[in-house]
Chains A and B, each alone.
Chain A
């Protein structure tokens, strides 16, 4: 079953995914080497190796508790904020060790932004939600500059037309789907290289979900995206590659069209076809 997608005999190659992956360069953005994560004495991640390429959308799937969120948080050191959580191994971003003592974690989290399951806008105006990051990181030299960043971020998040007349109103007053796109706009306002998304659509209705998914494929032109999702269909729709996690192990990572038509590992097949427990 070890056939690469280009070989004869692999049917049903998703043409969209293929076009996208052809555009994708093979430059490594993030490299995880033998990453292990412990919560106190319990090991949640058991020595994972994974390279994530520039401008790819990689989906992390697997049963609840298999370590998807934990691994995602490794990539921008969000686990540092969890008591008793310990990370071993090496993680590089553009070749630079992100667990190096001299590294500025605040800056790292701007370079590797994160969007959560539940939209979490600050209790501030729509404008301030976006302006906060660029101001913090000194990305804008003037008020006009800042306004420009706010506008372009909202545009790229596909939210501009819906909010341009009420930028001074609270971000929390938007619908769930709009709030999630606001959070995405906030993430891209600081010009990240990579965006981590942990079940970004699980609180959204199908239309809001479709908008976020559309956004993901547009954003992948500029950013590298890792997304955790419980929706197999979502993983199949938005990602170029899919990684299947199981009990803290990375079982299989392959082109998404391959994973969903000819998974290599029987655990992957059992999971994506709903043959579990």
Chain B
């Protein structure tokens, strides 16, 4: 397959095992992303079918999480991986945890959508969620893309991209008058959920960077980042 930058192992089966982890991770990522997308739509349109679909598919995200964890454990026990292979497994195990939480946030949003429909809450104030879900989902997509292609430059761009946070700040600054206090609190919760999805997307890219370069960039300033990753342009 030759998907990994380092080329093939002498053991083709080892290659298959790593490829399987990699594609399961991407599958889980795409599914989690779709979940967020659907849950947001369910909230902003009051589409009950979509909301229950999200809650139903949560089991699938969890199933992939288990599969990937098992696969990682098996490769660790069987192959004693080193270097890039070892980093890929560590990145996958951590990435899985982030994606699982993305799935959880989607489920929270979907339950909220169901509750709103049942209690007859208006969807009107929720339309503002789109302003945040668009940049957040774009970030998650780019993060998955970086992971898929082992693209260091793209992964770095994702980790430093905090635009969705600015958007959230703006939304909170010009906060609308919502008569219903319960609905207002829910709306804030929903925004926070999306914000967290953005944070998980960035974590995922940090793992991609570790996998590709061996560098741990967590909690570094922009300058430190540039020192650590020469040849990568940090926006």
* A residues whose Cβ falls under 8 Å from a Cβ of B: 1, 3, 7-12, 232-233, 236, 260-263, 266, 268-270, 272-277
A260 to B84 Cα, complex, angstroms: 9
- Asked if residues A269 and B84 are in contact (CB atoms below 8 Å), the reply is yes
State whether the Cβ of B66 lies closer than 8 Å to any Cβ in chain A. Answer: no
A275 to B7 Cα, complex, angstroms: 7
Instruction: List A contacts of B9 (CB < 8 A).
Output: 273-275
Instruction: List A contacts of B220 (CB < 8 A).
Output: 8-9
A117 to B67 Cα, complex, angstroms: 42
Instruction: List A contacts of B86 (CB < 8 A).
Output: 260-261
Given known contacts A8-B224, A9-B220, A273-B6, A236 and B82 CB-to-CB distance under 8 angstroms: yes
- Asked if residues B8 and A275 are in contact (CB atoms below 8 Å), the reply is yes
Instruction: Classify chain B: how many residues form its interface, as a range.
Output: 20 to 34
Query: Which of B83, B84, B224 has the most A CB atoms < 10 Å from its CB?
Result: B83
Using CB atoms, name the residue of chain A closest to B217: A9
| Chain A nearest CB, measured from B81 CB (Å) | 7
Which stretch, B24-32, B106-114, B208-216, touches the partner chain A?
A: B208-216
- Asked if residues A261 and B83 are in contact (CB atoms below 8 Å), the reply is yes
Query: Which of A233, A268, A269 has the most B CB atoms < 10 Å from its CB?
Result: A269
Instruction: List A contacts of B81 (CB < 8 A).
Output: 273
Q: Which B8-62 residues have a C-beta within 8 angstroms of A?
A: 8-11, 14
Instruction: List B contacts of A233 (CB < 8 A).
Output: 80
Of A3, A236, A266, A272, which is within 8 A of B228 by CB? A3
B96-130 vs A, Cβ < 8 Å mask (1 yes, 0 no): 00000000000000000000000000000000000
Using CB atoms, name the residue of chain B closest to A2: B230
Query: Which of B9, B82, B87 has the most A CB atoms < 10 Å from its CB?
Result: B82
Of B14, B82, B217, which is within 8 A of A260 by CB? B82
Using CB atoms, name the residue of chain A closest to B79: A274
A66 to B224 Cα, complex, angstroms: 39
Of B6, B85, B210, B228, which is within 8 A of A8 by CB? B228
Instruction: List B contacts of A262 (CB < 8 A).
Output: 83, 87, 214
Q: Which B201-235 residues have a C-beta within 8 angstroms of A?
A: 210, 213-217, 220, 224, 228
- Asked if residues A11 and B216 are in contact (CB atoms below 8 Å), the reply is yes
| Chain A nearest CB, measured from B131 CB (Å) | 35
Instruction: List A contacts of B213 (CB < 8 A).
Output: 1
- Asked if residues A260 and B215 are in contact (CB atoms below 8 Å), the reply is no
Instruction: List B contacts of A273 (CB < 8 A).
Output: 6, 9, 81-85
| Chain A nearest CB, measured from B143 CB (Å) | 19
- Asked if residues B84 and A1 are in contact (CB atoms below 8 Å), the reply is no
Can you name 6 A-B pairs with beta carbons within 8 Å? A1-B214, A3-B228, A236-B82, A261-B83, A262-B87, A270-B7
A233 to B77 Cα, complex, angstroms: 12
Q: Add 15 more A-B contacts to A9-B228, A275-B7, A275-B9 (CB < 8 A).
A: A1-B213, A1-B214, A3-B228, A8-B216, A8-B224, A9-B217, A9-B220, A10-B214, A236-B82, A260-B83, A268-B83, A273-B85, A274-B14, A274-B79, A275-B8
| Chain B nearest CB, measured from A271 CB (Å) | 9
Instruction: List A contacts of B90 (CB < 8 A).
Output: 12
- Asked if residues B8 and A11 are in contact (CB atoms below 8 Å), the reply is no
- Asked if residues B216 and A270 are in contact (CB atoms below 8 Å), the reply is no
A-B pairs, top 5 by smallest CB distance, nearest first, are A262-B214, A11-B216, A9-B215, A272-B82, A9-B228
Given known contacts A11-B210, A275-B7, A263 and B83 CB-to-CB distance under 8 angstroms: yes
